[in-house]
Amino acid sequence: MAMHNNTIVELLAALKSGEFSSKELTRHYIERIKVLDSLYNAFITPLEEQALQAAEQADADRARGKELPLGGIPIAHKDIFCTRGIKSTCGSRMLDNFISPYDATVVENLTAAGAILIGKTNMDEFAMGSSSETSFYGPVKNPWDLERVPGGSSGGSATAVAARMCAGATGTDTGGSIRQPASLCGISGLKPTYGRVSRWGMVAFASSLDQAGPMTQTAADAALMLNAMAGHDAKDSTSITDPVPDYSARLNDKICGIKLGLCKEYFEDGLDANVQQCVMDAVLVLEKMGARISEVSLPNTRQSVPAYYVIAPAECSANLARYDGVRFGHRCENPVDLGDLYRRSRSEGFGAEVKRRIMIGTFALSAGYYDAYYRKAQQIRRLIKNDFVNVFEEVDMIIGPIAPSTAFRLGEKIGDPVTMYLQDIFTIASNLAGLPAASFPAGFVDGLPIGIQVIGNYLDEASILQLGHQFQLQTDWHKRTPASAEL
């Protein structure tokens, strides 16, 4: 089997046995990026020289008997994470010239675990989008069909993993931006509990919703990456202090007797019938494995999209106020005064979707409208959280679809923001509640992948990964590779 078709678990075993070196593995991925990324546009900044140097160091460490949890494994970072001495753009013209002076905590943690940074991946501008079409660097293509989107905003990371251009990647999830592209590209993606992974050095979109997580071929690989990523960070005031378990420890435990809730609101109008069939087929597999399935209700789920699209833009309008052309980032040429500097720098630096959300958020926070919109949205958010609290008294996890359909065509929805926003209708609620959730490959419709969503209780990522791993022992959807990635 070609090196790139191995999982992280398998690659670590091969590196340890001396089947190949980290430098050979890294060079192999670099050559794939050189050949394939002209098709996909998944990378903004490939890092060949730096990656090969790190791989040499990993080989030297291994020769001295130093074994790290991810020692010598090439990964990619979504370009929303600050990386010291490397361009960190957020997919925006605003940060096209920004070289970060420090590493994000996630980057530090994965580097300390021995992972090798092979490149920074493309994304929707400032993580605002569900298709990876709003990037200043052009849209990302889905490797299963180059005329379709990979999902967003972590579409570059999803494509890079699906096309086997790296062994794993980081993503961020504000309303589904790890899980939706994972589903549309046929990989595994996990959004941890809010605060489980540090947000320090991860450029903010909506601070009360953003969460970093792993994007990999398998649940077992996601567990290895999360082991390195998770943990308390004193630099992040929202970081959880609870100790980090070994997320790999329970992967081989059977799921017999686990209670799974099938949310009835996820199977109402708007869900493609073929996607629903794939999800129900996956549910049957889980039931045959001994899981106990029951119907549950999350009645306020219908309000999650409107609540989210008040809260997230409001927070983005505050977070993006710092990009003013004065301190860092894009600055317009020859401003006539300070007001002109602000106006033109922001007008030139931000794309249409970012501007739209800034305006919506500014309106929602303005005097006279704060109570009617932002406060009301936060009250709805509490109702959504209460729904989950009630359901988790009955079941261990909730299962359902990730997206209403398979990957749609490039340009199909970009001109219709509301239709685009509804792509996250099944994923947003878990962000509003701060719950962990994942997507695991569960089938294909007309040659396009579909994922099943698993939502867990607070800090119960281990159960989600256990369920995903056991499901993947019984299925082979996660082993499928797109024809476009074959060399």
299-319 confidence digits (pLDDT tens): 999 999 999 999 999 999 999
5-48 confidence digits (pLDDT tens): 999 999 999 999 999 999 999 999 999 999 999 999 999 999 99
Q: Is residue 290 part of a domain?
A: no
- Residue range(s) defining the domain that contains residue 95: 3-262+392-485
Q: Is pLDDT at 481 greater than 80 in this prediction?
A: yes
What pLDDT, on a 0 to 100 scale, did the predictor assign at position 269?
76
Average pLDDT of span 398-424 = 93
How far from 216 is each of 118, 334, 457, CA to CA, in Å? 15, 46, 22
Q: Is pLDDT at 72 greater than 70 in this prediction?
A: yes
Q: Is residue 103 part of a domain?
A: yes
What pLDDT, on a 0 to 100 scale, did the predictor assign at position 31?
98
Q: Which two tokens stand for residue 158?
A: 């999803």
**Total of domains in the chain:** 1
Q: Is pLDDT at 151 greater than 90 in this prediction?
A: yes
State which H helix or E strand residue 459 sits in: none
Q: Please tell me whether the overall predicted TM-score, pTM, comes out greater than 0.75 for this model.
A: yes
Give percent helix, percent strand, percent coil of the chain, each to the nearest 5. Answer: 45, 15, 40
Pairing of strands 437-445, 43-46: unpaired
Pairing of strands 43-46, 116-121: antiparallel
Full DSSP string of 245-264:
P-TTTTTTS--TT-EEEEEG
What pLDDT, on a 0 to 100 scale, did the predictor assign at position 169?
98
376 is catalytic: no
What pLDDT, on a 0 to 100 scale, did the predictor assign at position 296?
98
Q: Which two tokens stand for residue 151?
A: 């999902």
Q: Is residue 429 part of a domain?
A: yes
Full DSSP string of 405-438:
SSPPBTTSSTT-HHHHHGGGTTTHHHHHHT--EE
End-to-end CA distance of the chain: 13
* CATH number of the domain bearing residue 146: 3.90.1300.10
Distance CA 255, CA 248 (A): 15
Choosing from 21, 92, 130, 177, the catalytic residue is 177
Q: Is residue 291 part of a domain?
A: no
Q: Is pLDDT at 60 greater than 90 in this prediction?
A: yes
83-138 confidence digits (pLDDT tens): 999 999 999 999 999 999 999 999 999 999 999 999 999 999 999 999 999 999 99
What pLDDT, on a 0 to 100 scale, did the predictor assign at position 237?
96
Burial (CB count <10 Å: 0-12, 13-18, 19+), residue 437: buried
| Amino acid (one-letter) located at 318 | A
Contact of 401 with 455, CB cutoff 8 Å: no
Distance CA 403, CA 423 (A): 6
Angle at 289 between CA 178 and CA 255, to 5 degrees: 65
Using DSSP's 3-state secondary structure scheme, residue 453 falls into strand
264 is catalytic: no
Distance CA 267, CA 286 (A): 18
Assign 1 a pLDDT band (cuts: 50, 70, 90). Answer: low
339-352 confidence digits (pLDDT tens): 999 999 999 999 99
Q: Which residues contact 219 (CB under 8 A, 6 or more apart)?
A: 188, 251, 438, 440, 465, 466, 467, 468, 469, 471, 472
322-337 confidence digits (pLDDT tens): 999 999 999 999 999 9
Assign 399 a pLDDT band (cuts: 50, 70, 90). Answer: very high
Q: Which residues contact 250 (CB under 8 A, 6 or more apart)?
A: 462, 463, 465, 466
Average pLDDT for the chain: 97
| Amino acid (one-letter) located at 439 | S
Average pLDDT of span 457-472 = 98
Strands (E), 211-258: 212-216
The sign of the CA dihedral 409, 191, 276, 252 is: positive
Dihedral angle over CA of 425, 430, 431, 435, nearest 10: -170
Distance CA 312, CA 486 (A): 39
Distance CA 93, CA 97 (A): 8
Average pLDDT of span 225-232 = 98
Q: Which residues contact 60 (CB under 8 A, 6 or more apart)?
A: none
Average pLDDT of span 277-281 = 97
429-444 confidence digits (pLDDT tens): 999 999 999 999 999 9
What pLDDT, on a 0 to 100 scale, did the predictor assign at position 268?
83
Q: What percent of the chain has pLDDT over 70?
A: 100
Choosing from 88, 132, 153, 439, the catalytic residue is 153
88 is catalytic: no
Q: What percent of the chain has pLDDT over 90?
A: 95
Q: Is residue 357 part of a domain?
A: no
Choosing from 78, 141, 191, 413, the catalytic residue is 78
